[in-house]
Amino acid sequence: MPLKPRPQPPPRPDAAGIRHRLHTIIFEADTFAGRLFDLALIGCILASVLVVMLDSVPSMQLRHGRLFLVLEWAFTLMFTLEYLLRLFCIGRPLRYALSFYGVVDLLSIVPTYLSLLLPGSQYLLTIRVLRILRIFRVMKLVQYVGEAEHLVRALRASGKKITVFLFAIGSLVIIFGSLIYLIEGEKAGFGNLFEACYYAIVTLSTVGYGDLTPQTPLGKAISALIMILGYSIIAVPTGIVSVELAQARKLKISTQVCPDCSAEGHDPDAAFCKYCGSRL
Amino acid sequence: MPLKPRPQPPPRPDAAGIRHRLHTIIFEADTFAGRLFDLALIGCILASVLVVMLDSVPSMQLRHGRLFLVLEWAFTLMFTLEYLLRLFCIGRPLRYALSFYGVVDLLSIVPTYLSLLLPGSQYLLTIRVLRILRIFRVMKLVQYVGEAEHLVRALRASGKKITVFLFAIGSLVIIFGSLIYLIEGEKAGFGNLFEACYYAIVTLSTVGYGDLTPQTPLGKAISALIMILGYSIIAVPTGIVSVELAQARKLKISTQVCPDCSAEGHDPDAAFCKYCGSRL
Amino acid sequence: MPLKPRPQPPPRPDAAGIRHRLHTIIFEADTFAGRLFDLALIGCILASVLVVMLDSVPSMQLRHGRLFLVLEWAFTLMFTLEYLLRLFCIGRPLRYALSFYGVVDLLSIVPTYLSLLLPGSQYLLTIRVLRILRIFRVMKLVQYVGEAEHLVRALRASGKKITVFLFAIGSLVIIFGSLIYLIEGEKAGFGNLFEACYYAIVTLSTVGYGDLTPQTPLGKAISALIMILGYSIIAVPTGIVSVELAQARKLKISTQVCPDCSAEGHDPDAAFCKYCGSRL
Amino acid sequence: MPLKPRPQPPPRPDAAGIRHRLHTIIFEADTFAGRLFDLALIGCILASVLVVMLDSVPSMQLRHGRLFLVLEWAFTLMFTLEYLLRLFCIGRPLRYALSFYGVVDLLSIVPTYLSLLLPGSQYLLTIRVLRILRIFRVMKLVQYVGEAEHLVRALRASGKKITVFLFAIGSLVIIFGSLIYLIEGEKAGFGNLFEACYYAIVTLSTVGYGDLTPQTPLGKAISALIMILGYSIIAVPTGIVSVELAQARKLKISTQVCPDCSAEGHDPDAAFCKYCGSRL
């Protein structure tokens, strides 16, 4: 993939005040300060998630619980400051607060404050791992934007086919689950249709825990059939995504714009605009 | 994938009677009433399958058994009415009754009635989960028709290759199963060739329950070989389906031929030939 | 895939004798008798393999052992007759006898005769499942020849890349296996490097029996790494085979032969021979 | 893939001395002696790794420990000699010593010497399995160079997309792991967030050991969701690599341009333009 040099934007002389400068640092990644901020933020996010995870280990908690508490409050205060700054320097704060990343940002700091009011609410604190999602906003800025968009576009294009595929999977699971439920019954641990469908999913997706296994010859035969099916139809989503990715890649190459009607999306070998017929 | 606007069919002034109007609602999805009917049907199907599944949980059955019975009869009566209406408003009722979806429709309602005659026939009632298949007829109508056809065409095109692949898998399973049976024998739980082939399928498809595992070094070596094989040859069906899907996609695109230069391969939204610029 | 009508060969008036006619029936599939013979042979092969498998089930053996013995001898005598006829009617019997299918044919009948001399040699008898391989010769004849060749050509074309891939897999297995061996040690069941490599294969191929599992946090981290690796690099053989299959499909379309230099393998859009430059 | 005959380099009359000749033998694979050396080296590497592995089996160690020790020292001395020769005959020894393969070569021999100073350092000796990596240098020389480069180029091209994919996998693992930790808790064996994330990886990658399994209905539902996700998104890396491999293959093909009509996309073995017939 050719790496085009990213043109450095000229320093904006009309930056009206601190608000604009903050916006540049916090929400963009074109300036040195903006990149530094993003890298520091990624570091803080990863560190804070690691602290949450370490805090869940009882032995760790016993020994370093105090340290974790201090770190957690440090991260929370920092993230709170960042959240307030974001609200302050963006044009439409409410829209940001209600956006996906706005909600994630809020969920990253609220549990710690709530734990003061409701001490012992261990469960609530686990919500903090959602902080990991904040990484994606930063990635979006820095340099992976093209790649991620590329992937997302291909996945969206294959959305309908994937839906049909998932419906087919769901039906197979219900039908095969019922068969196994009838054949194996309660003695082999298939207590109800939900358990049997759980087993069918475990088998069809080739996970195969082995917590439930068929005991009768017929059950084994049906299970073998589910396995072969699961092993084979994995080909379908793979094929779908491959084709769409190939298509997305082809589209990416064509950056020509029609000089007459400004239409985009021409094939790389096109000599004339396919919409208005004028020479490209 | 470009979404072409679906032209609304003009109201048919020659609709002779209720029979035709019913047909439009039940079998088609172009009108508002038809779409509403389809959505209601999908809701009923999903709800009735959920009731069947919940009914199989003993504790649920104890507490809400009465409710489930009422719901089940409500759904059955509705589906019966729908089945009769379908028979009434279609041109050739017998052909419908013997078609795949006709049989599925019948199998969706018969077990409940039979349970009156043969009380306690729990097993029979599980057939009702086949109702889930009825979803696909509705999906076929609404909007996923193109996508599903696309998938089905690609799968049919790769049918012969997949058959060869499955035959090869079957032979590998029998030969490796026999090897494992000879090496591990009854002590390790491989009581007969069927069990050994079941083990070979569990391993080749990378499911790996762990209910049967090799105990001897040679058995482990053979099993490792089966795993590597299974891990690698998954590439074959995936490749087959990818290629056919790419082909199906290409076919969907290239139907127009330029009247001037006979070039093919135009996008579906192209109005002018991209090679010579003449109107398509 | 377009299905071309297979031209029926004209009846050969110069068929010199029974030998030629037998050859036509046994080795070819163009005539009605030849197809009938092939279908009967497939039936016998499948039935005889089924008998071998059923015979391995102790309870079956007890009840129907006598029947299985009779059937086995019937199949063996039939296959022996077929083998002798093949030797008789083919031009170069020795070359056939030493070919892959010749050896498989012999291995299909020898064990039963040997079991007379060495009674109780249960192990030897399992070799008979190799009969399943004979199916492929018949498939080669009937109608799947193009598809199978197509697959085999693509696999052969990707052979070198697959070899590199398997070498990489082997190295990963040895290195990760050693790591796990060092970290987990004998206590967790990883008694020696072979066991550890077996575990690495079970994990990398995403089979995951669960007979050996990491116990220490570090071992779990390494195992998680192996899993993610195995989950990701499955993409490599899949991609290789997809590309080669796409290529093989493209090649299949071009059946043109240069009228000047008889070269084949032209692209479907070629107007001139790419080897000698003359018009196709 | 067409196999082009590799032109034999003419004997270099200006080879100044033994140093150059050694370089030809050790670092190149064009001469008969060079190929022989490479094959012998591959044999020694594989044999020495096998000895390391056999040595780890206690029963083997007891019986053949002496033999293994002798073989190990033989291999170590040979590899030491080879290492010194490489240092001697290469132009810039320090650069070689600090290169990847230089370090691997050193790590292949150091542990055996260290085991004299620090007897009983079993752990150290396992480093010797890194010798397996030396195979790749030889493969690079002999004939797989094009294939390996092909693969590596495609993987590097998909590097960024794979990074985005792995980040997404990591986030899914942390979020689903936390969910499972909250739902199942310590009773089901999910003692802390690390264990829960380990479980999420085991499930998402479809490995499925079964050492940890969900016990509650909600936990099973979430696990089923993870399985379906893992089963479906395997399509993403596969699609990425397929597309890049197809691209790499295409690039390999289309380098020539017709001097007459400027058409591209000629096969590597084409001598004439397939569109206008003029000599390439």
Query: Is the pLDDT assigned to residue A265 strictly greater than 80?
Result: no
- Stretch C169-173: mean pLDDT: 92
Q: How many residues does chain B have?
A: 280
- Stretch A256-263: mean pLDDT: 58
Note whether D147 contacts C160, CB cutoff 8 Å: yes
Lowest mean pLDDT among B215-224, C156-165, C265-274: C265-274
Q: Could you tell me what percent of chain B has a pLDDT over 90?
A: 26
Nearest by CB to residue C241, choosing from B175, B230, B239, is: B239
Which chains have 3 or more CB–CB distances shorter than 8 Å to chain C? Answer: A, B, D
Q: What mean pLDDT, rounded, does chain C reach?
A: 79
User: Which residue from B minimizes the CA distance to C231?
Assistant: B231
Query: Is the pLDDT assigned to residue A253 strictly greater than 50?
Result: no
Distance from CA of A14 to the nearest CA of D (A): 36
Residue pLDDT, tens place only, C92-110: 888 888 888 888 888 888 8
Nearest by CB to residue C242, choosing from A207, A209, A242, is: A242
- Helix segments in chain B, DSSP class H: 18-27, 32-55, 58-89, 93-98, 100-117, 122-125, 134-141, 145-157, 159-184, 193-204, 217-233, 235-253
Confidence at residue B3, expressed as pLDDT on a 0 to 100 scale: 47
Chain B contact set for C211 (CB, 8 A): 210, 213
Residue A109 buriedness (CB in 10 A; 0-12 / 13-18 / 19+) = buried
Specify the higher pLDDT residue, C215 or D280: C215
Chain C contact set for D204 (CB, 8 A): 231
- Stretch D22-43: mean pLDDT: 81
Residue C26's pLDDT band (boundaries 50, 70, 90)? confident
Query: Is the pLDDT assigned to residue D147 strictly greater than 80?
Result: no
Specify the higher pLDDT residue, A50 or D142: A50
Note whether A234 contacts D239, CB cutoff 8 Å: no
Confidence at residue A4, expressed as pLDDT on a 0 to 100 scale: 47
Query: Is the pLDDT assigned to residue D145 strictly greater than 80?
Result: no
Note whether A274 contacts B271, CB cutoff 8 Å: yes
Specify the higher pLDDT residue, C234 or B16: C234
Number of A to C CB contacts under 8 A, please give it: 9
Note whether C207 contacts B206, CB cutoff 8 Å: yes
Query: Is the pLDDT assigned to residue D8 strictly greater than 70?
Result: no
Based on its alpha-carbon atoms, the radius of gyration of chain C, rounded to whole angstroms, reads 26
Distance from CA of B155 to the nearest CA of D (A): 17
Nearest by CB to residue C53, choosing from B191, B194, B208, is: B194
Specify the higher pLDDT residue, D247 or D3: D247
Spatial separation of the C-alpha atoms in residues B52 and B46, rounded to whole Å? 10
Note whether B238 contacts C238, CB cutoff 8 Å: yes
Highest mean pLDDT among B108-122, C174-188, D137-151: C174-188
- Reading the block at residue C29, the tokens are 């599939």
Chain D contact set for A240 (CB, 8 A): 235
Query: Is the pLDDT assigned to residue D160 strictly greater than 80?
Result: no
Distance from CA of B124 to the nearest CA of A (A): 9
Lowest mean pLDDT among C144-153, C267-276, D62-71, D125-134: C267-276
Nearest by CB to residue A238, choosing from C206, C210, C238, is: C238
Place of tokens 């994990």: C203
Distance from CA of D273 to the nearest CA of A (A): 18
Note whether C210 contacts A206, CB cutoff 8 Å: no
Confidence at residue B13, expressed as pLDDT on a 0 to 100 scale: 47
Confidence at residue B180, expressed as pLDDT on a 0 to 100 scale: 92
Q: If you ran DSSP here, which 8-state letter would residue B5 be given?
A: P
Number of C to D CB contacts under 8 A, please give it: 178
Residue A201's pLDDT band (boundaries 50, 70, 90)? very high
Q: What mean pLDDT, rounded, does chain A reach?
A: 79
Confidence at residue A115, expressed as pLDDT on a 0 to 100 scale: 82
Confidence at residue A50, expressed as pLDDT on a 0 to 100 scale: 92
**Crossing angle of the two packed helices D159-184 and D145-157, in degrees rounded to 10:** 60
Nearest Cα to A57, choosing from A72, A68, A46, A73?
A68
- The answer to whether the beta carbons of residues B230 and B205 sit under 8 Å apart is yes
User: Which residue from B minimizes the CA distance to D211?
Assistant: B210
Distance from CA of B34 to the nearest CA of C (A): 37
Per-residue three-class SS string for chain A: CCCCCCCCCCCCCCCCCHHHHHHHHHHCCCCHHHHHHHHHHHHHHHHHHHHHHHHCCHHHHHHHHHHHHHHHHHHHHHHHHHHHHHHHHCCCHHHHHHCHHHHHHHHHHHHHHHHHHCCCCHHHHHHHHHHHHHHHHHHHHCCCHHHHHHHHHHHHHCHHHHHHHHHHHHHHHHHHHHHHHHHHCHHHCCCCHHHHHHHHHHHHCCCCCCCCCCCCHHHHHHHHHHHHHHHHHCHHHHHHHHHHHHHHHHHHHCCCCCCCCCCCCCCCCCCECCCCCCEC
Spatial separation of the C-alpha atoms in residues B57 and D82, rounded to whole Å? 70
CA distances from C271 to D265, D269, D280 (A): 14, 16, 15
Domains of chain C, each with CATH number or no CATH: 17-140 (1.20.120), 163-239 (1.10.287.70)
Per-residue pLDDT of chain B (280 residues; tens, 9 = 90+): 444 445 555 444 454 677 778 877 777 767 788 888 888 888 999 999 999 899 888 898 899 989 998 999 999 999 999 999 888 888 788 888 888 888 888 888 888 888 888 766 667 777 888 888 888 777 665 555 566 667 777 777 777 778 888 888 999 999 999 999 989 888 888 988 999 999 999 999 999 998 899 999 999 999 999 999 998 888 888 888 888 887 776 655 444 555 666 555 555 555 666 666 666 6
- Stretch C37-56: mean pLDDT: 89
User: Which residue from B minimizes the CA distance to C167?
Assistant: B228
Lowest mean pLDDT among A16-30, C15-29, D262-276: D262-276
Confidence at residue C3, expressed as pLDDT on a 0 to 100 scale: 47
Note whether A276 contacts B273, CB cutoff 8 Å: no
Establish whether this prediction's ipTM goes over 0.90: no
Confidence at residue C2, expressed as pLDDT on a 0 to 100 scale: 45
Confidence at residue A239, expressed as pLDDT on a 0 to 100 scale: 83
Confidence at residue B257, expressed as pLDDT on a 0 to 100 scale: 55
Based on its alpha-carbon atoms, the radius of gyration of chain B, rounded to whole angstroms, reads 27
Query: Is the pLDDT assigned to residue C278 strictly greater than 90?
Result: no
- Reading the block at residue C251, the tokens are 């090649």
Q: Could you tell me what percent of chain B has a pLDDT over 70?
A: 76
Residue A117's pLDDT band (boundaries 50, 70, 90)? confident
CA distances from B195 to B186, B221, D272 (A): 10, 19, 60
Note whether C271 contacts D276, CB cutoff 8 Å: yes
Nearest by CB to residue B210, choosing from C1, C197, C210, is: C210
- Reading the block at residue C80, the tokens are 């022996």
- The answer to whether the beta carbons of residues C229 and C172 sit under 8 Å apart is yes
Confidence at residue B1, expressed as pLDDT on a 0 to 100 scale: 40
Spatial separation of the C-alpha atoms in residues D226 and D202, rounded to whole Å? 10
Distance from CA of C17 to the nearest CA of A (A): 48
**Which of C175, C243, C266 best tests the D interface by mutation, with the highest count of D CBs <10 A?**
C243
Across the strands, what pairs with A5?
none
Note whether B227 contacts C210, CB cutoff 8 Å: no
Confidence at residue B148, expressed as pLDDT on a 0 to 100 scale: 64
Confidence at residue A254, expressed as pLDDT on a 0 to 100 scale: 45
Specify the higher pLDDT residue, B176 or D130: B176
Chain D contact set for C227 (CB, 8 A): 201-202, 205, 207
Confidence at residue B15, expressed as pLDDT on a 0 to 100 scale: 47
Residue pLDDT, tens place only, C63-80: 998 999 899 999 999 999
Chain C residues touching chain A at CB-CB below 8 Å: 206-210, 238, 242
**Which of B245, B260, B275 best tests the A interface by mutation, with the highest count of A CBs <10 A?**
B245
Specify the higher pLDDT residue, B262 or D59: D59
**Which of D138, D145, D207 best tests the C interface by mutation, with the highest count of C CBs <10 A?**
D207
Residue A195's pLDDT band (boundaries 50, 70, 90)? very high
Confidence at residue C121, expressed as pLDDT on a 0 to 100 scale: 62
Spatial separation of the C-alpha atoms in residues C20 and C11, rounded to whole Å? 12
Specify the higher pLDDT residue, A215 or D122: A215
- Reading the block at residue C228, the tokens are 């993610």
Note whether B135 contacts A167, CB cutoff 8 Å: yes
Nearest by CB to residue D208, choosing from B208, B238, B242, is: B208
**Which of C215, C274, C275, C279 best tests the D interface by mutation, with the highest count of D CBs <10 A?**
C274
Confidence at residue A64, expressed as pLDDT on a 0 to 100 scale: 92
Note whether A164 contacts B151, CB cutoff 8 Å: yes
Q: How many CB atoms lie within 10 A of CB C131?
A: 22
Note whether A272 contacts B273, CB cutoff 8 Å: yes
Nearest by CB to residue B132, choosing from A175, A208, A221, is: A175
User: Which residue from B minimizes the CA distance to D234?
Assistant: B238
Q: If you ran DSSP here, which 8-state letter would residue C273 be given?
A: -
User: Which residue from A minimizes the CA distance to B241?
Assistant: A239
**Which of D162, D171, D212, D250 best tests the A interface by mutation, with the highest count of A CBs <10 A?**
D171
Residue A92's pLDDT band (boundaries 50, 70, 90)? confident
- Stretch C115-134: mean pLDDT: 78
Query: Is the pLDDT assigned to residue D260 strictly greater than 80?
Result: no
Confidence at residue A196, expressed as pLDDT on a 0 to 100 scale: 93
Chain C contact set for A269 (CB, 8 A): none
Residue D247's pLDDT band (boundaries 50, 70, 90)? confident
Query: Is the pLDDT assigned to residue A126 strictly greater than 60?
Result: yes
Chain B contact set for D60 (CB, 8 A): none
Chain A contact set for D210 (CB, 8 A): 208-211
Query: Is the pLDDT assigned to residue D222 strictly greater than 50?
Result: yes
Which chains have 3 or more CB–CB distances shorter than 8 Å to chain A? Answer: B, C, D
Sequence-distant (≥ 6) Cβ neighbours of residue A51 within 8 angstroms: A68, A71, A72, A75
User: Which residue from A minimizes the CA distance to D220?
Assistant: A198
- What torsion, rounded to 10 degrees, do the Cα atoms D23, D28, D31, D36 define? 90
Q: Could you tell me what percent of chain C has a pLDDT over 90?
A: 26
Residue C189's pLDDT band (boundaries 50, 70, 90)? confident
